[in-house]
Amino acid sequence: MINIPLMNNNIIKEDVDALIDFLKTTDRFTQGPKVQEFEDQWSEWLGVKHSVFVNSGASANFITMSVIRDLYGIGEIIVPPIAWSSDISSVFAAGHTPVFVDVNMNNLAMNDDTILDHITPKTKAVFLTHVLGFNGLTKKLVDELQKRNIPLIEDVCESHGASFNGKKCGSFGLASNFSFYYAHHMSTIEGGIICTDDDRFYEYCRLYRSHGMIRESTDEDMKKAVCSEYPQLRPEFLFVVPGYNMRSTELNAVIGINQLKRLDKNNSIREKNFELFLKNLDSSKYYTDFCTTGSVNYAFVILLRNQDPELFQKLTNKLLDNAVEFRRGTAGGGNLARQPFVLKQLTDFDPSTLKNAEFIHQYGLYTGNYPDLSEDKILALCNLLNSI
Ligand SMILES: Cc1ncc(COP(=O)(O)O)c(C=O)c1O
């Protein structure tokens, strides 16, 4: 019995101690100075101007797609089939139409040429997910989107610390989203963050996070302009955009501040683990040609080399027998275009046209990769996989 849970020890005693110390000294519990401090530290770590801490990665997705609507209008958003449900539901919720583009096998991200082929005059943004720690960007994509004036939104919820061309993923697009759910590279228990260099985008994110209220803006000119446009409404209760309450708390921010201190160190262990895993995997049975440059994987991606339903069944049985926790289909359970909430809206779309996403859906899964996973366990996992 190998016994590898998906995640282990992501909230440690040090985090709990920091939280207890904070609770003994504060009388402010919801969004306040600690949230601001975490946002400032995160912006510095990522290399962006602004961050907005929210209560989940899905909320970050929702706000981002809403702000795209408010600033650029309703239209088509290019999305991946290998991502998370909220990458698509946020697009629908904001009134846009998702346009699916198939992914590469070597980084599980949308193919750059296919993205560029799908851009139309209706395209409002490309919403790219960096999947399970792999960088999903190419120079061609970044340059072409800039040239064509199409906003790039990066979902980095699964790839904290991944980089492209020496810069962190999440610092290339108009905005980016991260999740701090327990199972990710770092955690605030629940939580998410939106990052941007764009002042206007930032102000809108702040409004959306807090019911759509103008008083949440840090831009005094913006506040004055809106208040004078609606003199009959009270500035404390002037709801400019259709927001919700997606705030987080001081408690979650304290955990985030403490976790950020060890993120880089933990990530370098994850990188070594992933290398060891790939090196010892039988490449005749499993796909091992991943592009690992700049990647920081919190999961071991296991993809069959060839279509083989019998082998896949044996694989899942073996993992279950050995208490190795796994998720089939990789991120988001595989081809999201197959999900009922998508097909109910895109009634003419055939999800089987997304060939690589379909393969990953049928013959892919992932297991956990975290700092306290021992070398012995990684090698035992490889031996188990190779023996099937
Ligand atoms: C790519 C991606 N986007 C968004 C989310 C949503 O994040 P959360 O679980 O914090 O809502 C996830 C969740 O795991 C994810 O993997």
**Once rounded to an integer, what is the mean pLDDT over residues 275-301?**
97
Residue 297 Cα to ligand 1 middle (Å): 15
Across the chain, where does the E strand assignment appear? Answer: 50-54, 76-79, 97-100, 123-129, 152-155, 163-164, 167-168, 175-179, 192-196, 299-303, 327-328, 364-368
**Once rounded to an integer, what is the mean pLDDT over residues 57-74?**
98
Structure tokens, 258: 């403490």
Report whether 7 contacts 326 (CB < 8 A): no
Residue 42 Cα to ligand 1 middle (Å): 18
Residue nearest to atom 7 of ligand 1 (CA): 57
Structure tokens, 135: 């960088």
Report whether 98 contacts 75 (CB < 8 A): no
**Any ligand 1 atom below 6 A from CB of 155:** yes
Give the predicted TM-score (pTM) of the model: 0.98
pLDDT of residue 9: 84
Q: Dump pLDDT digits (tens) for 220-274.
A: 999 999 999 999 999 999 999 999 999 999 999 999 999 999 999 999 999 999 9
**Once rounded to an integer, what is the mean pLDDT over residues 174-200?**
97
pLDDT of residue 121: 98
Q: Please, is 243 exposed, middle or buried when counting C-beta atoms within 10 Å of its C-beta (0-12, 13-18, 19+)?
A: buried
Q: What is the mean pLDDT of the chain?
A: 97
Structure tokens, 321: 């027998």
Rounded to whole angstroms, how far apart are CA atoms 266 and 276?
16
Please give the number of the atom of ligand 1 that sits closest to the Cα of 180: 10
Structure tokens, 198: 């764009």
Residue 269 Cα to ligand 1 middle (Å): 23
Residue 42 phi/psi, 5-degree rounding, is -65, -45
Report whether 152 contacts 145 (CB < 8 A): yes
Is pLDDT of 283 > 90?
Answer: yes
Q: Please, is 132 exposed, middle or buried when counting C-beta atoms within 10 Å of its C-beta (0-12, 13-18, 19+)?
A: buried
pLDDT of residue 159: 98
What 3-state class would DSSP assign to 57?
helix
Rounded to whole angstroms, how far apart are CA atoms 112 and 324?
34
Share of the chain above pLDDT 70, in %: 100
Q: Would you give the end-to-end CA distance of the chain in angstroms?
A: 15
Beta bridge partners of 155: 129, 177
Residue 227 Cα to ligand 1 middle (Å): 36
pLDDT of residue 183: 86
Residue 105 Cα to ligand 1 middle (Å): 21
What 3-state class would DSSP assign to 224?
helix
**Amino acid occupying residue 17:** D
Report whether 219 contacts 209 (CB < 8 A): no
Determine the distance from the C-alpha atom of residue 38 to the mean position of all C-alpha atoms in its chain, rounded to a whole number.
18
Q: State the residue for tokens 């197959």.
A: 338
**Amino acid occupying residue 373:** L
Beta bridge partners of 303: 364
Q: Which of 53, 181, 244 to mutate to test the pocket of ligand 1 (most atoms within 8 A of CB)?
A: 181
Rounded to whole angstroms, how far apart are CA atoms 87 and 81?
9
Structure tokens, 375: 């070398």
Rounded to whole angstroms, how far apart are CA atoms 230 and 223?
11
**Once rounded to an integer, what is the mean pLDDT over residues 10-27?**
96
pLDDT of residue 8: 87
Determine the distance from the C-alpha atom of residue 277 to the mean position of all C-alpha atoms in its chain, rounded to a whole number.
23
Q: Residue 215: pLDDT band by 50, 70, 90 thresholds?
A: very high
Q: Dump pLDDT digits (tens) for 119-160.
A: 999 999 999 999 999 999 999 999 999 999 999 999 999 999
**The pairing of beta strand 364-368 with beta strand 327-328:** antiparallel
Please give the number of the atom of ligand 1 that sits closest to the Cα of 332: 16
The dihedral over CA atoms of 166, 168, 172, 176, expressed in degrees to the nearest 10, equals 170
Rounded to whole angstroms, how far apart are CA atoms 218 and 313?
55
Please give the number of the atom of ligand 1 that sits closest to the Cα of 58: 11
> Which strands sit side by side in the sheet containing 299-303, from one edge to the other?
299-303, 364-368, 327-328
Q: Dump pLDDT digits (tens) for 346-376.
A: 999 999 999 999 999 999 999 999 999 999 9
**Amino acid occupying residue 322:** N
Domains of the chain, start order: 13-254 (3.40.640.10), 263-386 (3.90.1150.10)
**Any ligand 1 atom below 6 A from CB of 84:** yes
Return the closest-CA partner of residue 140 out of 107, 124, 164: 164
Is pLDDT of 107 > 90?
Answer: yes
